[in-house]
Amino acid sequence: MELSEIKGRTLRVCALYPDLMNIYADRGNLLVLQRRCEWRGIGFELAGSGLGEPLDAGGHDLFYIGGGQDRDQRLCAEDLLTTKRASLHEAAARGAVVLGVCGGYQLLGHAYTLGEEEIEGVGLLDVRTVRDPGSRLIGNVAIDVSLEDESGPRVLAGFENHGGRTHLGARANPLGRVVKGHGNDGRSGLEGARAGNTIGTYLHGPLLPKNAWFADWLIATALHVEPRRLSPLEDSLERDAHRSARRAAGV
């Protein structure tokens, strides 16, 4: 597809539970998507879908779900199952990007445990999150990620803070390999999960401001164009911020 054709396009983003699942400054992720579209002349539409609201499977190119407090995440888990599961599966099946960060990542799996209780997730990713008597996994983190359309592995840097340990099922691929930090469970050396264009990760900080290259990959993938088709931007501050986050992780 030619550059000129991308220019008139619009990225339609839907944030799931923006009032409840936003604990780690998740709006930074949305703001980065918005600005990087606008600066390229790509349209940007942001919709929110809260508790009890149906989800328009065909109406959005990218679905985002962030992290929340335990009580709020539980409310959202119930609502995802009752009002949004079918639409989210339909959207993912036609290639929309679904990005879950932290608590949102846990909700995209089969289930997660909260206290003594197992709470069902939407099952878009073949992962399961359990509690561990050990302490929370907290700190700066850097992972190596290999994505198609990229010439080689690239680094995602961020901050993780999770009590749950996420285990990958037989059909799941990790998003990346831990270079520094804890990752999914503090043991496997794996971080996040990916199935097609559905991606889950514990990296916040927020994720996209620290990794503008990945924001561009998501924009391109959601619009079904190759990332190199996106016009380059003046990214010196973005590169410095990425380096700063990597340095904090020791990479």
Partner 1 sequence: MARLLTPKLALARAAGALSRLRGGGATSVPGRLLLALEPDALGALALRLDQGSVLVSATNGKTTTAAMAASILERHGVELVHNQAGANMAGGIASTLLSAARSRGRIAGELGLFEVDELWLKPVAAQLRGLRAVLLSNLFRDQLDRYGELETIADSWISALREGPARAATLVLNADDPLVADLGRDRDGSAGDGAGDDRAGERRVVYFGVEDNSLGLTGMAHAADAKHCRRCGAPYVFDTVYLGHLGHYHCPSCGRRRPSPTVRASAVTLEGVRGARFRLRVPAGEVEVKLGLPGLYNVYNALAAAALAVALEVPLADIVAGLESATAAFGRAETVTVDGRETRILLVKNPAGTNEVLRTLALEPGEHDVLGVLNDNIADGRDVSWVWDADYELLAGRVHSFTCAGTRAPELALRLKYAGVDPHRIRVIDDVEQALTTAAADRPGGGEPLYALPTYTAMLALRELLVGRGEAGSSWS
- The binding site for partner 1 (CB under 8 A) comprises 19-20, 22-25, 27-28, 31-32, 35, 69-72, 138-140, 159, 161, 204-206, 209-210, 234, 237-238, 240-241, 243-245, 248
How far is CA 76 from each of CA 12, 61, 68, rounded to the nearest angstrom?
22, 21, 9
Q: Do the beta carbons of residue 169 and residue 218 sit within 8 Å?
A: no
In whole angstroms, the minimum distance from the beta carbon of 73 to partner 1 comes to 10
Q: Which is nearer to partner 1, 25 or 195 (CB)?
A: 25
Q: How many CB atoms lie within 10 A of CB 27?
A: 16
Our CA angle for 246, 112, 115, nearest 5°, is 105
Which residue among 60, 182, 204, 242 is the active-site one? 204
Comparing CB distances to partner 1, the nearer of 159 and 217 is: 159
Query: Which is nearer to partner 1, 12 or 242 (by Cβ)?
Result: 242
Q: Which of 102, 162, 167, 182 is catalytic?
A: 102
* Run of H or E including 75: helix 70-79
Closest separation between CB of residue 237 and partner 1, Å? 5
Residue 54 burial class via C-beta count within 10 angstroms: exposed 0-12, middle 13-18, buried 19 and up: exposed
CB of 74 to partner 1, least distance (A): 10
User: Which residues are 180's β-sheet partners?
Assistant: 142
The DSSP-derived string for 173-205 is B-SEEEEES-TTTSSSSEE-EEETTEEEE--BS
Which residue, 110 or 243, has its beta carbon nearer to partner 1? 243
Q: Minimum distance from CB of 24 to partner 1 (Å)?
A: 5
| 204 included as an active-site residue | yes
37 as an active site residue: the answer is no
Smallest gap from residue 136 Cβ to partner 1 (A): 8
Exposed, middle or buried: residue 228 (CB in 10 Å: 0-12, 13-18, 19+)? exposed
Residue corresponding to tokens 């959207």: 91
Q: Which is nearer to partner 1, 73 or 197 (CB)?
A: 73
Which amino acids are annotated catalytic?
102, 204
